[in-house]
């Protein structure tokens, strides 16, 4: 009897120890998952965490979608490509793509490449491509080429933006009519010095700013808005890739669109980097309709 009693106590203790061990094990595993690294998180403008499907769902009734990137952020570029594919699946032949990274005077070369008239080597040699083209923008161009999607070079030729910075806005009047065709019509261009993104350039550039710097930025934004509007129809949806500064706070390019487009037809996306992505910092709230938050130590593309 004593032996049976002792064995009963032994097995009861062993079962208790096993139960405690399982609890400790799952607590440990749970902590591991809780501490799992996140490559990114998506937040609304108010800082509420949402998933990618929510963002995608909210593009369905939009005409203009701005993806504000960090130029060297791989997560932003990956999500750009994924969003492009998903919007193409939704809007099909009505989707139009465009980008800050391509200048308006290169449009005919881009069109020749997209239509298989010239080789990739000729195209890459003659278009003024950014250093990170092969890793970050080539996939978008190749996708457009494969699926016959229009791809619009929206930006002002950089030499003309540089003229504004060096010589002032009035210097553009000296250009030929052909040159001016690659810029927003000068009689349509307006400048609002009270807009934060331009005011910062005038006063917060450690002595490198000033009115010419702000005008150079604004002429870029106005030109991009001009070519976006020029290449959209009543049925099409325009997805534009640009540095976040060009569309954050619905300023920059969006400011010029809002002169003629209802705000509810525009959706903006921004990219930010934080040490911890589990909560959106107050300073990053309100930048866009959706904010992609990426760890600040994320690998860079260049």
* Distance of alpha carbon 116 from alpha carbon 100, whole angstroms: 23
Kind and range of the H or E run holding 121: helix 120-126
Taking residues 6-24, what's their average pLDDT? 44
In the chain, the DSSP E strands lie at 41-44, 49-50, 64-69, 95-103, 151-155, 237-243, 266-274, 290-295
Residue 295 DSSP SS3: strand
End-to-end CA distance of the chain: 77
* Distance of alpha carbon 284 from alpha carbon 282, whole angstroms: 5
Average pLDDT of the chain, as a whole number: 90
86 pLDDT higher than 70: yes
Count CB-CB contacts under 10 A for residue 294.
21
For the stretch 159-189, pLDDT in tens is 999 999 999 999 999 999 999 999 999 999 9
CA torsion 230-233-239-242 (nearest 10°) is: 10
Query: Tell me, what's the pLDDT at 203?
Result: 84
Token code pair at residue 170 = 């009035």
Q: Please, where are the H alpha helices in the chain?
A: 2-34, 52-57, 74-91, 107-114, 120-126, 138-147, 158-167, 177-180, 196-203, 211-230, 253-257
> Starting from the edge strand earliest in sequence, which strands make up the sheet with 41-44, in order?
49-50, 41-44, 290-295, 266-274, 64-69, 237-243, 95-103, 151-155
Q: pLDDT band for position 11 (50/70/90)?
A: very low
For the stretch 246-287, pLDDT in tens is 999 999 999 999 999 999 999 999 999 999 999 999 999 999
Taking residues 51-69, what's their average pLDDT? 97
Residue 299 DSSP SS3: coil
For the stretch 146-164, pLDDT in tens is 999 999 999 999 999 999 9
Q: Tokens 């990739």 belong to which residue?
A: 120
* Distance of alpha carbon 158 from alpha carbon 227, whole angstroms: 15
Contact indicator for 114, 106 with CB cutoff of 8 Å: no
* Distance of alpha carbon 109 from alpha carbon 126, whole angstroms: 8
DSSP 50: E
Query: Tell me, what's the pLDDT at 37?
Result: 80
Sort 12 into a burial class: Cβ within 10 Å, 0-12 / 13-18 / 19+.
exposed
Which of 152, 256, 240 has the alpha carbon at shortest distance from 195?
256
Contact indicator for 64, 225 with CB cutoff of 8 Å: no
* Whole-structure pTM value: 0.87
Phi-psi region of 148 (alpha: psi -120 to 50; beta: other; left: phi over 0): left
């Amino acid at each position: 009897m004593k032996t049976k009693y002792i064995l009963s106590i032994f097995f009861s203790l062993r079962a208790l120890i096993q139960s405690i061990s399982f609890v400790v094990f799952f607590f440990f595993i749970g902590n591991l998952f809780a501490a799992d690294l996140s490559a990114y998180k998506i937040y609304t403008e108010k800082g509420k965490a949402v998933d990618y499907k929510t963002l995608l769902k909210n593009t369905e009734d939009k005409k203009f979608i701005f993806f504000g990137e960090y130029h060297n952020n791989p997560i932003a570029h990956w999500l750009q490509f994924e969003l492009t594919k998903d919007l193409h699946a939704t809007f099909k032949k009505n989707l139009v793509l465009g980008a800050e990274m391509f200048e308006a005077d290169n449009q005919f070369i881009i069109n020749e490449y997209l239509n298989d008239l010239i080789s990739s080597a000729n195209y890459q040699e003659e278009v003024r491509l950014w250093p990170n083209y092969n890793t970050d923008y080539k996939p978008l161009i190749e996708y457009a080429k494969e699926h016959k999607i229009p791809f619009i070079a929206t930006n002002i030729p950089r030499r003309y933006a540089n003229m504004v910075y060096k010589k002032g806005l009035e210097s553009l009047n000296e250009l030929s009519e052909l040159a001016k065709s690659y810029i927003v019509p000068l009689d349509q261009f307006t400048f609002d010095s009270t807009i934060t993104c331009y005011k910062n350039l005038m006063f917060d550039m450690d002595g490198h700013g000033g009115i010419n710097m702000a005008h150079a930025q604004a002429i870029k934004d106005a030109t991009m808005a001009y070519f976006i509007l020029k290449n959209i129809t009543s049925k099409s949806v325009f997805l534009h890739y640009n540095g976040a500064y060009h569309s954050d706070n619905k300023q920059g390019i969006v400011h010029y669109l809002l002169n003629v487009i209802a705000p509810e037809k525009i959706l903006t996306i921004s990219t930010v980097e934080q040490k911890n992505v589990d909560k959106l910092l107050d300073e990053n709230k309100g930048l866009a309709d959706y904010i992609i938050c990426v760890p600040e130590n994320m690998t860079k593309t260049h």
